[in-house]
Homo-oligomer: A and B are copies of this chain.
Amino acid sequence: MSHTVEILSVGTELLLGNIVNSDAQALSRELSGLGLNVLYHSVVGDNPGRLRAAVELARTRADVIVTTGGLGPTCDDLTKQVLAECFGRRLVFHPECAEAIRAYFARMGKEMTDNNLQQACLPEGCDILDNAWGTAPGCAFEAGGTYVVMLPGPPSECLPMFLERAAPWLARLSEGVIRSRTLRVFGLGESAVEALLRDRMNRLSNPTLAPYAKEGEVELRVTAKADTPEAADALIAPVEAEVRALLGDLVYGADVSGLEQVVLEGARARGLTLGTAESCTGGLIAKRLTDVPGAASAFKGGVVSYHCEVKAGTLGVSQALLDEQGPVCAGVAEQMARGARRVLGCGLAVSATGVAGPDPDDRGNPVGLVYTALAAPDGCWVKKLNLASPGARRDRIRTLAANHALDMARRWLAGLDPAGRDVQRGWTD
């Protein structure tokens, strides 16, 4: 029988709408992946009475309670106190936790104020979930058939704490092991992916196959349950193979952070450096490549040529072409990519020029018209894109343009036609 879960988030800032409850989303996804059944989310403020009532309710309707927030050092951090009370446990000072907190501050080169040591008080007899990403440790215990897990609120701590500490602890609730693998798909919408895979998904129960729409791409998660990791992986492999056979080179990676990571790794493996030339994306492609730690091993740099003067002056785009056709055309995209490759001295360069909106450009080019290009040692490719759609605003058009530019580099590095299918192919040397 499957266990049922309530995620209980504590924090007045959530009720004021100051932050979005991204912890609840991330944990729901991971808990579902473990085969646990998330039935409720609830949020209460930093108020002991209301938190107590919420805990009493949660234990009647779920057998796993995962809390987020309220573990910090200030006086409105009351999750541990209230939970300990509800489950009849005392809070005890854990010297080894205090040591870890001291060490964390030392590592950061910061003064530690004494109130931080309050974070070392945890319910008697609990299992400590050590926090390598911040100061407040989490904890977990079982009481009268209810499993309680407490995690810190900051998203940069909550998810890693869950993955590295809480998930292994919760593994006791699922017989055997659960493994999953996430395939990343670019170039097809969620509904198209779902339509292609629907029959297969409905027939599968172990492993399961589920699509998730991401910004401009789709994730397919294959999750299997088995007695051993090897047996789970053996269940996953044929489903992955089947998905890859169906979707072909639209699957750009498995268990990766995004197109940027695949492009960086591909370039590194080929001993090539990368550069960017950006107009409508305004630095977003370079920003995404440098989001990845260690990007410097392949990414050299980029030029944000927002004005035509910079396109001509820094990247050497033909002034005559700019005058005649304007900055939004295939030729300018091509010359931007070629220019970046030359000016930055890199092996591969991608470019994007287009109309991100909200208004059409001076020449009447519509919002969403974007050209992306790739300059490589063996030639240059350009894609013409129409990224307008109901609800596609400036930020989404820019994200999609960056995805397309990165995907051209990804495809070239994988030995595929960089411009892919159903797009304009051109300007190959």
- Counting chain B CB atoms within 10 Å of each CB, which of A18, A357, A390 scores highest? A390
User: Which chain A residues in 1-54 approach chain B with CB under 8 Å?
Assistant: 9, 13-22, 24-32, 38-45, 50, 53
Q: Are B309 and A345 in contact (CB under 8 A)?
A: yes
CB distance from A207 to the nearest CB of B (A): 16
Q: Are A314 and B307 in contact (CB under 8 A)?
A: no
From known contacts A21-B21, A108-B388, A304-B283, infer whether A40 and B39 are also in contact, taking CB-CB under 8 Å.
no
Q: Which of the 9-residue segments A81-89, A236-244, A295-303, A415-423 touches chain B? A: A295-303
| C-alpha spacing A17/B15, complex, angstroms | 19
Please report the total number of A residues contacting B with Cβ < 8 Å: 93
Residues of B within 8 A of A291 (CB): 282, 394-395
Q: Are A21 and B24 in contact (CB under 8 A)?
A: yes
Q: How many copies does the complex hold?
A: 2
A344 at the binding interface (Cβ < 8 Å): yes
A144 at the binding interface (Cβ < 8 Å): no
| C-alpha spacing A31/B300, complex, angstroms | 47
Interface of A is mostly: mixed
Q: Nearest CB to that of A154 among chain B residues? A: B391
A293 at the binding interface (Cβ < 8 Å): yes
Q: Nearest CB to that of A367 among chain B residues? A: B108
User: Which chain A residues in 306-334 approach chain B with CB under 8 Å?
Assistant: 306-307, 309-310, 313-314
Chain A, 122-160, contact with B by CB distance < 8 Å: what is the 0/1 string?
A: 000000000001110000000000000000001011000
| C-alpha spacing A42/B21, complex, angstroms | 11
| C-alpha spacing A314/B17, complex, angstroms | 44
Q: Are A156 and B358 in contact (CB under 8 A)?
A: no
